[in-house]
Chains A and B, each alone.
Chain A
């Protein structure tokens, strides 16, 4: 059996990480295998060529390839079976079938199972290479789109966010890339030692987020205590420490909400707490602190809202909570959850539902006060409808009651709408290609996308 061989050349087709694209070639016929290998190496791919399908499945499972080329007729396993097997492992990797002869029924079957291309001998090398580069390009685009566009990423998602993330998460449904990235980052920081800083916009639901964090630990001896500006002082803190001690806690995590609004004394207390200094020394368990703030640490420091000690301490681990408007695919689900809670609160028999216009509004609204704003809006809408259908008008009325709209803010909203429409129009005229519209406005694609997703 021929072993995996890799030859690297100077000039390779590069992917976005600047690495050459890799192709796995499977053909039990040694001569044809080396022919295919030569063709792809000539075309600057990095090639792994194998002759045994069983081994190929093994190699495929543990290595990332951009494309697979396989023969059909092989002793241990047909190419069609091989393709079905690897499509079950990584469905996104395109597979091309190269064969001497195929029945029409077999071609139909291959199509059904998601073949990327079929090439019969005598081989047309040029169209084979053309097709493979097309397939790789499409797969790369789809992957990129799945990252930025929640609608496409849905195609890859399993139903429960927990199944996808591999851990329990409730503060965001994680249907958007911004929120699932956040969930993953938060999870990766779960074992922080002293201090963790959560940076979120106004109205962020830190408490639910920290409850998610608390849920990451299986150790039941982990304790969390929450403090706000009104409840954070030495005596309350000491009480929490004593309670944890009485509970035989192995660790206490103190969550401090809106640190920047605290008094200088409270901030001093916040700075010494994780170091277990002063009044907090002598406890037999670890003390950690989660600082929740609404802005960049640098800005807070410049505005003298936090001093150098806090700045250094808080800077050890930072996680940014996404703004609600950046998680547009999550909002409707979150709102629905809130409706259920709100309906229970007012003792309504029927749970109201959102109509299409309302869902649209929820997704597109700016949510300057994030989760708090959403909660308020849903609560007043539920109170207003008494169990019927919540339409956009109900939500808008709720808005009027909440914020006295000024002429200046209305102008700003309309101007931003006009901006969004202009940018969208340009994108449409460039063939729905945001990357072409970006240089048109002298901007990068990310800023263009952020305007149209607002």
Chain B
């Protein structure tokens, strides 16, 4: 598998020039023009090489190198710069920079150096990345692999990876996708990745109401200027009757080769009203079954917020906060996590985040009452109802055969009150 390169240069033209040069040589490249943006990308994606300019406003190459080193002490890092003086060179040498190249760039030497750290993709991989299933029926059996790992959306949990894979697969073979979206979910982030994968770079995604898009019509939509706007659009459905209307709209414009993709967001409450959608409907999973995503987002939000408020120590979590984040069900998903961490950091001193900064949110946390050895068992017990519910959806007879087979006391009506069925798995 070929690796990925991140190019950071505050001059957009130069960044693009480097990207084109690397693309021509079959590397996979992302660009950034601001160091903060590049740091976020670094946190999200495993790169195998970073190429950065030295002279940039706000954070210079050395500052960016320092931050990158904190994240990845051994990531190959090439500085490309105009003249650097001796103190500057000594400074970056002492920060383990991998290579310093001078502008104007000797392309041959540059590509030679890049080849030391990153592998270009093979013909086979490039073809594969472009592959889309030939027809709808085939697509069911053969899901095209996602072109890269998502950058914005966290696909760390099984449920979220499955969601994004399915969304990608549906949109690869058609123009319309229906997403059952829970309150405060991270659909926007998923759409950013999808939009980029469909060649829209980071152009903003426009949101419409259903009446607005009906009025515009597919023809009107196509005629718009897409130089500053993604060809992927989001339509938020605001009541149950709109679901059928959206389907009518889609049916009327089934064929289009304009590259326009429309995602209809259906609030979960209305999902029961959905009829006649199977393949095109995907369900964005709740945070309660996405602990890994919750953890990743929590870190990302904390890091960005701590940076913004100049309380860098707040990017770290105390044990009690780690526990509380894992324990809490996050019924309002991403938005709730985001506002909780942001407000906690603004309340907090410049110290690792503690429970006290979260106000009443984690008031019911069992952290205090539990010894470390019991934590995993407790957290697994909280996860158990969701495991059983998930099994029930795949079992022909629903929950009953599961309850019988697992020797669960049949008098129990509430899945949450079942003790951990295999407590030994909760022991480390």
Contacts and interface: CB of A to CB of B under 8 A. Distances in A.
B323 A440 contact: yes
Given A408-B405, A415-B425, A111 B99 contact: yes
Given A355-B145, A411-B421, A419-B426, A425 B395 contact: no
Contact of B422 (A108, A412, A439, A448): A412
Contacts of B391: 407, 410-411, 414
Contacts of B1: 356
Interface stretch (A25-33, A113-121, A375-383): A113-121
A425 B326 contact: yes
A108 B74 contact: no
A107 B90 contact: yes
Nearest to B86: A104
A165 interface: no
Contact of B90 (A112, A120, A426): A120
B100 A108 contact: yes
Contacts of B325: 429
Contacts of A417: 158
B382 to A, nearest CB: 10
B82 interface: no
Nearest to A440: B319
Given A356-B145, A411-B391, A428-B295, A419 B89 contact: no
B132 to A, nearest CB: 15
A55 interface: no
A188 interface: no
Contacts of A38: none
Interface in A87-105: 102, 104
Contacts of B365: none
Contacts of A273: none
Given A142-B74, A357-B145, A425 B100 contact: no
Interface in B305-352: 316-317, 319, 321-323, 325-326
Contact of B402 (A110, A111, A407, A421): A407
Main secondary structure of the interface of B (DSSP, over half): helix
B359 interface: no
B267 to A, nearest CB: 27
B141 A428 contact: no
A431 interface: yes
A442 B378 CA distance: 13
A117 B94 CA distance: 4
Instruction: Pick the most buried of A393, A416, A425: most chain B CB atoms within 10 A of its CB.
Output: A425
Instruction: Pick the most buried of B94, B98, B143, B294: most chain A CB atoms within 10 A of its CB.
Output: B94
A425 B73 contact: no
A323 to B, nearest CB: 18
Contact of A407 (B74, B298, B401): B401
Interface string A411-452: 110111111011111101111000000011111000110010
B85 A104 contact: yes
Given A107-B89, A355-B145, A411 B387 contact: yes
Main secondary structure of the interface of A (DSSP, over half): helix
Nearest to B159: A421
Contact of B94 (A118, A138, A411, A424): A118
Contact of B317 (A120, A406, A423, A430): A430
A381 to B, nearest CB: 15
A141 B97 CA distance: 18
Contact of A415 (B93, B322, B371, B384): B384
A341 interface: no
B93 A425 contact: no
A87 to B, nearest CB: 14
A442 B371 CA distance: 8
Nearest to A138: B73
A131 interface: yes
Nearest to B96: A116
A406 B379 CA distance: 25
A107 B102 CA distance: 13
A29 B349 CA distance: 51
Contacts of B425: 412, 415-416, 419
A234 to B, nearest CB: 44
A426 B371 contact: no
B376 interface: yes
Contact of B142 (A110, A117, A391): A391
B304 interface: no
B383 interface: yes
Contacts of B96: 116, 138
Interface in B356-388: 371-376, 379-380, 383-384, 387-388
Given A104-B84, A107-B90, A108-B89, A415 B323 contact: no
15 contacts: A104-B89, A107-B90, A108-B89, A116-B96, A138-B73, A391-B142, A407-B395, A408-B405, A411-B422, A421-B157, A421-B291, A426-B295, A426-B326, A429-B321, A447-B428
Given A119-B94, A424-B156, A429-B325, 16 more contacts: A107-B90, A112-B99, A141-B73, A355-B145, A356-B1, A357-B145, A407-B391, A414-B391, A415-B380, A415-B384, A416-B425, A425-B294, A426-B295, A430-B317, A440-B375, A441-B375
Cβ-closest 5 pairs across A and B = A442-B372, A425-B295, A442-B373, A443-B428, A407-B405
